[in-house]
Structure 1
């Protein structure tokens, strides 16, 4: 009797529980059936049209599309002078999550993840000496590309590479003239920081640091050495100036001039995320410097080529104050110079993977100015160039200013000087073996001081007289 009563009491409760569970499961089943019939119109995942598809159909379609993409994709990893194809096996696609995260409108990316162990092994195999930890942000970049099933793209690993602190290049300028201004600048600025993703201007640095320089020559050695240092990195030159003549402290092709008065500046760009550090020091008459930063996979070297020299012209001046047998030189000539400067980029294997023309530096030749006796026809062995015009004029008791007794720049083919009172005539001698360039420089000259065809206007005037 007691058992029957218990059964009668529990039976309704059991039936209610069964009904409740059944209805709940049926509701979930019906909801899934209803909501999975089709998608909103124009739904896309990685440019794959899924409109009107069920979830199972959408997943199947995406799986087929991804398998096709793996055989067609050409996503390249570029680094250290090599381009390698991304191993699609390092990418995991999550199709259920992709379908579940579809947007109501627009093109949705696929849910993907990078197998870190697989990608690290691939990098170590294809780029020996490097590993995934040296490329922070690379995984995210790969996921962005593969989630949209891009077929062609190049991912430059240089944009993500981070190494240890390293000295890229150290240089020095020997036997320079250490002026008080130069010494004060180095003492106040032994370290110069070049921030990442920034533009560096030497003149702006002077203003910000409060450095005062008495003359541009104080900055010449610093600017030239800094220019040499940055040429051994990937820093891009935006502005650089040179002097009219090569200074004694600078090497041909490696000079840089900065002048706060005229606005001549040295400007370069740092496209890396990491900064560079430049240090300077003075040791007697030697200026030393070095540039350091995060390790790069490349080495940069400076190469010069196409060096040419252009002989100076000889400008003859004739003076009545120079006795016969004496040749005076008021300005020694200097050869003109031309050189091309390249920056070569080397891989870790020592292969040249890029070369960049940095500049073509040209310094015009300086004329040699000779002063001859007024009646000298041709040079002979008795003429001496050890005496100066000023000394000879003092010996003759004449004035130190010969502005009234000499004229300069009279060429061999110039018309005669009018008037008989001019006692001195200058003549520029030499023939150009090249064309004159647009900037007024002569590409080459040949000097002949013993030419028998030399004629002067004063002689003609004297004959006429």
Structure 2
């Protein structure tokens, strides 16, 4: 009896178990069909669906393309973009290229979220750029900028995936705009003793040096002033040159005189002449305008440069100064006595100097050192005119001469240089003395000695 009941229980349990398994399988099948079937259907449809007319992702049109094909097109464009695009961040006169590895693109998400029939941008994120800010200026932090706007602008240059060169000015996003306000960058004073009436033509003038432009002194004078003497123009050129030396402005054309004028210091002269087309030309590499102004104070002429303050410091260093002693050139004049000597040209030492410009950052560290100018003024040789050396019997009369003044203490045996002395024959000079006066033999005042 007991065995019979036990058998019935086992049969009933097996039936329940079978029914349970059937239910589990059925439920699993239904759920799997609804889930994977939808995915399969969506997959089949996505492979054949095409983007509508007018759909683009960045600079690439994907109209008429399937998502898979569009993904391939964008991936190819991104590879080109990474190889050929430059993004430059600039702050004041400093700039640096942004490494494109700071960007992270999600192209699959870009395709899946692309909206039909309208422009779309690639989905991209930017890693922190604190190091880049520090390289531009150690004092810069995120708090100095409208940060969200700046980051959005940087990301926008990448989201279009359009190949090109991009430049982003950080000054445009500064919270404190006072750094872009005008300051007096440099000033030069031309002392009253060197000021003549003609310089008044420049007083009150204000010249705008536009961003990334060149300035020509001769063009300005021709357009705004008119004819000016070479002396006045050279004084103005010297003042302008001194004002722009301690800046990052680049000199394109500059000239100097044969002899250093009294109003200029060695290494700091600039010569200009309208007739000889001697110009002073420089360029403004900055993104800001600067004003060059002329003002008269207590009979002195002040030339000043005003504009946004420069980030770096520019220190001018005159170095490697050399001097060159003049030689003595002797000329003969039969109208002078045999012991008579007259000094026609006193002579002057020659000079050479190199002018360097050091670029220093805000902390005083030297960024670079460049040679700005190498000025050479040749020596002016001493010219002496003396009578002819004559013989009387067995003796020779030789004129006495003081060579110390013209040769800075050199031994008198070296005072005459045959290669630069007059080669005229004394006898021939004697024959011509009746037809040639003293001034003719001496030559013109500005004539170069032979």
Q: Do both proteins adopt the same fold according to a TM-score greater than 0.5, normalized to the shorter chain?
A: yes
SS of the counterpart of 2:226?
coil
Q: Give the structure-2-normalised TM-score.
A: 0.62
1:277 to 2:291 alignment: yes
1:207 to 222, 240, 252: 222
Structure 1 SS opposite 2:219: helix
Q: Say which one has the larger Rg.
A: 2
The equivalent residue for 1:226 is 240
* 2:226 equivalent to 1:171: no
How far does the alpha carbon of each residue in 1:61-91 deviate from its partner, in whole angstroms, 9 at most, with x for none? 989x99xx99xx9988687879697596786
CA distance in 1, matches of 2:358, 2:147: 24
Change (3 A) 1:169 1:304: same
Aligned to 1:288: 302
Question: Per the alignment, do residues 426 and 90 of structure 1 end up closer, same or farther by CA in structure 2, a change over 3 Å counting?
Answer: same
Q: What is the correspondence of 1:399-418 to structure 2 with a 5 Å cutoff?
A: 411=420, 414=423, 416=425
SS of residue paired to 2:282: strand
Q: CA deviation at 1:248?
A: 0.9
Name the structure 2 match of 1:25: none
The superposition leaves residues 176-225 of structure 1 with CA deviations (integer Å, 9 ceiling, x where unpaired) of 421111123224x2x2211112221111112332x134411112221111
- How far apart are the structure 1 equivalents of 2:158 and 2:355? 39
Question: Given the superposition, is the C-alpha separation of residues 321 and 410 from structure 1 closer, same or farther in structure 2, using an over 3 Å criterion?
Answer: farther
1:409-455 deviation per Cα after TM superposition (whole angstroms, max 9, x unaligned): 9855947467351459989xxxxxxxxxxxxx9xxxxxxxxxxxxxx
**1:300-379 equivalence runs, <5 A:** 300-323=314-337, 326-375=340-389, 377=398, 379=400
**What secondary structure sits across from 2:202 in the alignment?**
helix
Find the residue that maps to 2:194 and give its secondary structure: coil
Deviation track 1:14-46 (CA, whole Å, cap 9, x = no partner) reads xxxxxxxxxxxxxxx989963554669xx9979
Structure 1 vs Structure 2 CA RMSD: 5.2
Summarize the alignment of residues 66-465 of structure 1 with structure 2, pairs less than 5 Å apart. 96-97=109-110, 111-112=122-123, 127-130=137-140, 131-133=144-146, 140-141=153-154, 143-145=156-158, 148=161, 160-161=170-171, 163-165=179-181, 166-174=183-191, 176-187=193-204, 189=205, 191-209=206-224, 211-284=225-298, 286-323=300-337, 326-375=340-389, 377=398, 379=400, 411=420, 414=423, 416=425, 419=428, 421-422=431-432
Q: Which 10-residue stretch deviates more, 122-131 or 285-294?
A: 122-131
Q: Distance in 2 between matches of 1:143 and 1:382?
A: 78
Q: Deviations over 1:274-301 (max 9, x none)?
A: 1011222233453322212223322222
Q: Secondary structure at the match of 1:320?
A: coil
3-state SS, counterpart of residue 367 of structure 2: strand
d(CA) in 2 for partners of 1:103, 1:345: 54
In 2, Cα distance between equivalents of 1:136 and 1:200: 35
- Equivalent pair of 1:134/1:161 in contact (CA under 8 Å): no
Whether the 8 Å contact between 2:124 and 2:159 is mirrored in structure 1 is no
Q: 1:212 to 1:55 in 2, by over 3 A?
A: closer
What is the distance in 2 between the residues matched to 1:156 and 1:186?
Answer: 39
Structure 2 unmatched ranges of 5 or more: 1-39, 173-178, 390-396, 407-417, 443-447
* SS of residue matched to 1:186: coil
